[in-house]
Structure 1
Amino acid sequence: MAQMSELRFSFSNQVFVVIGILSTLLSNGLGIGFLPIIVSDEINGSNHKLLDEQSLSYLEAAGELAFIASILIIPLTMQKKGRKVANIVTIMPAFLGWVLSFNAGKFFSLVIINALHNISLGGAVSISSTLMSEFCSFKYTGLFFMIEIAMITLGILLCHICNVGISPKQ
């Protein structure tokens, strides 16, 4: 039987795996940062009656429920169907959420987009820890986990930086 050190990949392969995970997390961070911008545009724009406090709480709750469900379902998918299927199940909601974002304007579409992005985020958080611990050397896992959290934050930050000067002013 092969030793555990013989099963580890080269540093370049580890970086390749981590870049795939980090790009998914960056996309999820962008999705999380994107929704408040759309909501603030709706509130500051002409459709300010579309979103009141109660509808905003429903919007937020839909995303949180989707996140919790994803954290419970994706690890089971990973265990039953494998890492590849679980990764595809994680990426597809983010892709669909971005496609639907082009026509975001109604409350129901915002709820669906928020739920899809949170499903993807919950799956990415579940999968990323497992993949990094399996494919990366113990020497680099701490660094990769730190970058993992930074990518979500970077996505949110980039979304808000890119919105400067775009939203309507009062």
Structure 2
Amino acid sequence: MNARNTLGYTLVATLLAAPLLATSALAAPGDRWDEAGDRINERVDRRGETINERLDNRGERINERMDTRGEAINDRLDSRGERANTRLDEAAERAAAAGKDGFAQRLDNKGDRVENRTDRRGDLAENRWDRRGDRIENRLDNRGDRAENRWDRRGDRIDNRMDHRGERAPHRHQRRHR
């Protein structure tokens, strides 16, 4: 072979290999689908996290309101019991001053019982409101967690579908857009 033929073969081989080298430097279609799936998955994950945070915050606000309501009821019943006990103690003092010691003792005991009963009712009401608020908060937290998981699974399914899309022909609706 002479030099001219060698140069010709080299030139032809280079011209034929150039498009192959150029396309290998570009991203493969499968990589584009993988990246698109990752972006969609991230967006869907953020959506699930947003829903979860919103439901968590709503549950916390409702729980705080119910805790406050329970404390207010307890305070009202405590003060009502203290006022009743004070009135009965004053009546017991008047009865003791009149020389009716047995009656005074019964009035004093009754005042203590009324105060204890209303204190107990207030504590029970506060606990009931606290538990109700906790149940609502937990229910909303669980609902938010389920929603986030649902969105995560959806994003994973889309991401997996996109990962495999590059390994086969594009979907029929996407063929004309290539």
TM over 0.5: no
**Bigger-Rg structure (1/2):** 2
Structure with greater helix percent: 2
